Amino acid sequence: MKGYCVYLRKSRADVEAEARGEGETLSRHSNMLMELAKKQDLNVVKIYKEIVSGDSIAARPQMQSLLADVSECRYAGVLVAEIERLARGDTIDQGIVAQAFRESSTKIVTPAKTYDPDNEFDEEYFEFSLFMSRREYKTIKRRMQGGRLASVKEGNYISSAAPYGYRKVNPEPKVHTLEIVPEEAEMIRLMYSLYLEGHGAKYIANELDRIGISPQKSTSWEPSSIKKILSNPLYCGMLSWKTKSDGDALYKGRHEPIITEEVFLAVQQKKRTDPAAQLRPNDKLMNYYHNILYCQNCGHQMKRRFIAGSGHEHMLCACRECRGKVVSSTVEAVDEAVIAALRYRITGLEKLRYSGADEKRSKPDKKVPLMAELEKAKRQLSKLYDLLEKEIYDTDTFLERSKKVNDKIRSLEAAVRETEIEKKPSQLPPDEAVRRLQNVIDSFSDSAPEEKNRLLHTALRRIYYYKTERASRSNPSSDLLLSAEFL
Q: According to the binding rule CB under 5 A, does residue 92 interact with Zn ion?
A: no
Q: According to the binding rule CB under 5 A, does residue 152 interact with Zn ion?
A: no
CB of 463 to Zn ion, least distance (A): 14
Which residue, 187 or 317, has its beta carbon nearer to Zn ion? 317
CB of 309 to Zn ion, least distance (A): 21
Q: According to the binding rule CB under 5 A, does residue 295 interact with Zn ion?
A: yes
Q: Which stretch binds Zn ion (CB under 5 A): 147-155, 183-191, 309-317, 351-359?
A: 309-317
Nearest to 120 by CA among 131, 133, 111, 107: 107
Q: According to the binding rule CB under 5 A, does residue 296 interact with Zn ion?
A: no
Q: Which stretch binds Zn ion (CB under 5 A): 92-100, 147-155, 320-328, 446-454?
A: 320-328
Cα dihedral: 332, 338, 340, 343 (round 10):
-140
Which residue, 306 or 466, has its beta carbon nearer to Zn ion? 466
3-class secondary structure, 407:
helix
Q: According to the binding rule CB under 5 A, does residue 481 interact with Zn ion?
A: no
Cα 8 off chain centre by: 32
CB of 161 to Zn ion, least distance (A): 24
Q: According to the binding rule CB under 5 A, does residue 293 interact with Zn ion?
A: no
Which residue, 213 or 319, has its beta carbon nearer to Zn ion? 319
* Separation CA 28–CA 161 (nearest Å): 48
CB of 483 to Zn ion, least distance (A): 14
φ, ψ dihedrals at 12, nearest 5°? -60, -40
Which residue, 254 or 300, has its beta carbon nearer to Zn ion? 300
Which residue, 279 or 298, has its beta carbon nearer to Zn ion? 298
* Separation CA 487–CA 440 (nearest Å): 13
Instruction: Provide the residue type at 63 as one letter.
Output: M
What ranges make up the beta strands (E) of 39-142?
Answer: 44-49, 77-80, 107-109, 114-115
Nearest to 184 by CA among 205, 158, 163: 163
Q: According to the binding rule CB under 5 A, does residue 297 interact with Zn ion?
A: yes
Q: Which stretch binds Zn ion (CB under 5 A): 41-49, 128-136, 316-324, 382-390?
A: 316-324
Q: H or E stretch including 107?
A: strand 107-109
Q: According to the binding rule CB under 5 A, does residue 317 interact with Zn ion?
A: yes
CB of 320 to Zn ion, least distance (A): 9
Pairing outcome for strands 312-316 and 329-330: antiparallel
Q: How far apart are the first and last CA of the chain?
A: 33
CB of 149 to Zn ion, least distance (A): 40
Which residue, 58 or 298, has its beta carbon nearer to Zn ion? 298
Q: Which stretch binds Zn ion (CB under 5 A): 197-205, 290-298, 329-337, 386-394?
A: 290-298
* Separation CA 321–CA 482 (nearest Å): 19
* Separation CA 200–CA 224 (nearest Å): 11
The one among 34, 263, 322, 388 contacting Zn ion by CB under 5 A: 322
Nearest to 259 by CA among 241, 233, 285: 233
The binding site for Zn ion (CB under 5 A) comprises 295, 297-298, 317, 319, 322
